[in-house]
């Protein structure tokens, strides 16, 4: 039986093929010509404070279902922006995460921080689509990009002015990410085969990473103490979705996760 991730990727291949017919690459290239430079996602992850916070706009997930039925994604992003997050991650997958590509442009118009398009990137065409839609960075998941595709997409993203968060979950994936010269390395605490989350994943993999790349610990953060554990071990940034989306007081939770004391 295929894993959740395998089902997502299989459906994504069909979706991308359909979207290519609607918006050929030549059209996307024309839309990108007059765009302003992308906001500097990498620089945003080097703040003066103890940790950079990438706050995620996320309505649902395959493992947790709908996180907030009445979520207003743009309003949530505005709240994030008002309270000092360093960057935002915007879920654009529709079938499994109830996101939408149009959210990038809508949110970009209301905030000033860089936006990461959180989706399952498997084709260079998606990079053009992301740039045209208002993304400043894209996600590259090592486990779904075989052979030279990871390096090819990383190079293509750089050529378009997009930063890339290269996401790993195992030691072998970290080796591949380092081998293609990634500058922003994500350690996903969520096993994408089972969607179970362990902060220990970051703690186990951090010693394998030499100085240089910015290390982002992703998923499973609900308290400042959890963030402190990975920061003490060497992570420079955290990506948080559910812990913020479901927070009763988003502003207070942002301060807690940024390790800022009142």
Question: Which residues are the active-site residues?
Answer: 56, 58, 118, 167, 188, 218-219
Give the separation between CA 151 and CA 130, rounded to whole angstroms: 18
In this structure, is the dihedral angle defined by the CA atoms of residues 4, 60, 54 and 125, taken in order, positive or negative? positive
Give the separation between CA 227 and CA 231, rounded to whole angstroms: 6
- 140 near 164, Cβ under 8 Å? yes
- 31 near 135, Cβ under 8 Å? no
How far lies 162's CA from each of 85, 146, 154, 212, in Å? Answer: 20, 21, 9, 19
Residue whose tokens read 């649902």: 60
- 128 near 29, Cβ under 8 Å? yes
β partners of residue 93: none
Give the separation between CA 46 and CA 31, rounded to whole angstroms: 30
Tokens representing 10 are 């299989």
């Amino acid at each position: 039986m295929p894993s959740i991730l395998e089902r997502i990727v299989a459906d994504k291949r069909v979706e991308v093929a359909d979207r290519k017919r609607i918006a050929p690459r030549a059209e996307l290239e024309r839309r990108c010509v007059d765009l302003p430079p992308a906001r500097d996602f990498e620089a945003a992850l080097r703040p003066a404070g103890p940790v950079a916070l990438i706050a995620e706009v996320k309505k649902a997930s395959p493992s947790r279902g709908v996180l907030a039925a009445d979520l207003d994604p743009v309003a949530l992003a505005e709240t994030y922006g008002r309270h000092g997050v360093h960057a935002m991650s915007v879920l654009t997958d529709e079938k499994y995460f109830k996101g939408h590509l149009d959210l990038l442009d809508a949110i970009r118009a209301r905030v000033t921080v860089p936006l990461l398009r959180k989706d399952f990137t498997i084709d260079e065409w998606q990079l053009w689509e992301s740039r045209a839609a208002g993304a400043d960075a894209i996600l590259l998941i090592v486990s779904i990009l075989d052979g030279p595709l990871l390096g090819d997409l990383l190079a293509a993203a750089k050529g378009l002015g997009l930063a890339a968060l290269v996401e790993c979950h195992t030691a072998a994936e970290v080796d591949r990410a380092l081998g293609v010269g990634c500058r922003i390395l994500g350690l996903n605490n969520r096993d994408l085969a089972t969607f179970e989350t362990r902060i220990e994943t970051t703690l186990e993999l951090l010693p394998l990473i030499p100085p240089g790349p910015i290390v982002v610990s992703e998923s499973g953060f609900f308290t400042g103490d959890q963030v402190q554990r990975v920061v003490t071990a060497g992570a420079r940034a955290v990506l948080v979705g559910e812990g913020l989306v479901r927070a009763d007081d988003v502003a207070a939770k942002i301060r807690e996760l940024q390790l800022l004391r009142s």
